Chains A and B, each alone.
Chain A
Amino acid sequence: MSDKSPFDGVEKRASEGRSLLDLQFKFFCISVAAVSVLILVGLMTSILLQGIPNLTWTLLISGPEPNPSEAGIRPAIFGTLWVCSLCALLTLPIGLATAILLEEYQPRNSIGRFFYSIIQLNVTNLAGVPSVVYGILGLTAFVSMFGLFKTQDRDNGYEIGVRYYDQFFSDGERSIMVPVASSDSPVTKPSKEMLSLDSELNSVDVFIYGLDDPAPTESQLPYAIMDDSEPGRISKKSWYYFSLPLGRGVLTGALTLMLVVLPVIIISSQEALRAVPSSLRAGALGLGATRWQVVWNVTLPAALPGIMTGAILAMSRAIGETAPILIIAGIVYISRAPQNLMDDFTVMPLQVYNWIGRPQPEFHGIAAAGIILLLIILLSFNAVAVLIRYKLQKPLS
């Protein structure tokens, strides 16, 4: 047993060299962070410089116009509101229920564990899928519904809440509407017996005359129609209009955004539920609570700040999603806010994209203003998330 220690003859590293490396690494990290902040600041400044002069009341109030100084973003704002609130309404229950299932109801046997691992794997993978893919999926699954209805046109599928009319224009420049049974009905021929309604849907008497008949008098003019005039078919949709296939409406947009946002909400809710200490659950179980009572009374209230924060951040991501909406709805001329769940719509990022694509530089200016508006909405969402988290955590900790 020699008394030679294993440390004899080992070469020592100079500590000055290690300190220098430490300093260099710190400097490298700082410069990289500074570069990313500078890029962000540069982008923000350019947007603000371009956009602030164009952030006018007109922008908020009006709809699309060919003249850039009169154009507005109002239909896009309402479209965003409709789509995102519908998306939140659909996603939160499903996402939260899935997270509760995965975290609180652990399976006992291997089949259950296998099932759970499949779900978990899918959720984690889908969180990273580019949102364009969800747009294509939404197109197949929601817009045309896998071709089940053999049409993308709404009138050839299944509909409720819509009435079709054949519209005549009388010689007195009034519109006369004749209700027809469905969108496939044959074209109405003008006749005295047809049920005629004016634009307020009150019954009126029409005066039909032919080529050989005398011209209508002054009093007959408002409701005079020639017997060979051809009507146009129009539809009046009520607020509860619903059709299958879903077509390119607000509901489809919301469902597609739901696909984008659901994995994120599931994962963040799972994290929030996991963060609840198991001693709380044990305490509730020890008092004789069933698993559902533990979840509802103890775990969910304790996890609520985290869940709400995750949900709000996920929704703020949904507001900025352009690609899936582009595929679903496309660039169409939308002049008003959506009227029912199936109505055409546009969202703010899409409107900005539309304007940027135009050649006139003034449109780029108001596009920048639209971007600023979008940023304001996103920042306020994040601020609300922080506030809610603060308020819910403070009284009980």
Chain B
Amino acid sequence: MTQSAYPQSDNATMAELDPTDSRKPVPMRTLAAKPVDPESSGPAIRMKNLNAWYGDFQALHDVTLDIPANRVTSFIGPSGCGKSTLLRWLNRMNDTIPSAKAIGDVRLGDTDLLARTTDVVDLRRRIGIVFQRPNPFPKTIFDNVAFGPRLHTRMTKSQLHDVVEWSLRKAAVWEEVKDRLKSPALGLSGGQQQRLCIARAIAVGPEVLLMDEPCSALDPASTLAIEDLIFELRNQYTIVIVTHNMQQAARCSDQTAFFFEGKLIEAGLTTGVFTKPKRKQTEDYISGKFG
């Protein structure tokens, strides 16, 4: 591979992550040790006037939003407000629904995400997704994580093993599964399965990670583990989370967007949206008056 799809780094190596590991290091990005300024990076995904329908029902009205690169953005709002729809349009998962339609200008860098001529397969490699309920394949843990790399690249066995280990370490699940990589993935607990799905998504080397309510089916301990994971990953990937849990949005994200009935009501820094919301609807939702 001349141009690696995986995050490259000049200084950090895996040996820094685990000093006792004496194998050949896999280059990866440094974990940020200092807090990040949410304003300091440009947009990864720009949306302008996005409208989306399911058949005749309009699910999104004129959404204009920028999603900053290498930060965590959360979408909040009551049920049925269109946040999951928006998320799914970002990597064209709605193509599987025949009645779904979207018009607008959505770009990842130079790529127009909604055009019919866009290579959806490559798009989904660059924008990964983690679903609400963990959905590991009924294969071994190794095969689950190796699924993505096997689709997109040609790797030797040792390279594949390195990538699998790297992804599982990043997803903070390596220690729990390293002795049973060949056992069925469905034998893991819910939280472990969700972290496995995150590892699987990371293994293809995406730029953006979409998470559709990743913790809603998990117990509080697993939820905490995944929130820690999101915090660890925040500077290496652009992360978009849809969540029902406002406290989670306040804990995890750098930028928040509040949706209601298909319209984007307010978007901005998380601290700003939660402490000094500009719109009354936002304030009502955050204080629990509805939703």
Contacts and interface: CB of A to CB of B under 8 A. Distances in A.
B93 A286 contact: yes
B131 A284 contact: no
Residue of A281, A285, A293, A395 ringed by the most chain B CB atoms within 10 A: A285
B137 A286 contact: no
A289 B151 contact: yes
A301 B137 CA distance: 10
A276 to B, nearest CB: 9
Tell me the interface secondary structure of chain A in the complex: helix
Contact of A287 (B138, B139, B186, B201): B201
Contacts, number: 69
Interface stretch (B11-19, B118-126, B161-169, B281-289): B118-126
A283 B98 contact: no
A287 B131 contact: no
Interface string A297-313: 11001100000000000
Contact of B133 (A108, A279, A286, A288): A279
B186 A396 contact: yes
Contacts of A119: none
A397 B186 CA distance: 6
B137 A279 contact: no
Nearest to B125: A288
B128 interface: yes
Given A108-B98, A395-B184, A397-B186, A283 B135 contact: yes
Nearest to B123: A288
A290 interface: yes
A297 B139 CA distance: 10
B91 interface: yes
A194 interface: no
Contacts of B122: 288
B128 A287 contact: yes
Interface string B92-133: 010010100000000000000000000001111100110101
Interface residues of A, number: 23
B124, B133, B138, B201: residue with the most chain A Cβ atoms closer than 10 Å: B138
A287 B148 CA distance: 6
A282 B138 contact: no
Interface string A333-359: 000000000000000000000000000
A395 B121 CA distance: 31
B137 A284 contact: yes
Given A280-B137, A297-B147, A286 B96 contact: no
Contacts of A85: none
Of the listed residues A281, A288, A290, the one surrounded by the most CB atoms of chain B closer than 10 A to its CB is A288
Contact of A284 (B128, B133, B147): B147
B172 interface: no
B137 A282 contact: no
A396 B123 CA distance: 30
Most buried by B among A106, A279, A301: A279
A282 B135 contact: yes
B96 A282 contact: yes
Contacts of A293: 151
Contacts of A286: 91, 93, 124, 128-129, 131, 201
A281 B147 CA distance: 13
**Most interface-central of A284, A286, A297, A397 (chain B CB within 10 A):** A286
A290 B121 contact: yes
B29 to A, nearest CB: 21
Nearest to B149: A287
Contacts of B197: 283
Interface string A376-397: 0000000000000000000111
Interface of A: 106, 108, 277, 279-290, 293, 297-298, 301-302, 395-397
- Rank and list the top 8 A-B pairs by shortest CB-CB distance, nearest first: A288-B125, A288-B124, A279-B135, A286-B129, A396-B138, A283-B135, A287-B148, A288-B121
28 contacts: A106-B98, A279-B131, A279-B133, A279-B135, A282-B93, A282-B96, A282-B135, A283-B131, A283-B135, A284-B137, A284-B147, A285-B96, A287-B125, A287-B128, A287-B151, A287-B204, A288-B125, A288-B148, A288-B151, A288-B204, A289-B151, A297-B151, A301-B138, A302-B137, A396-B138, A396-B184, A397-B184, A397-B186
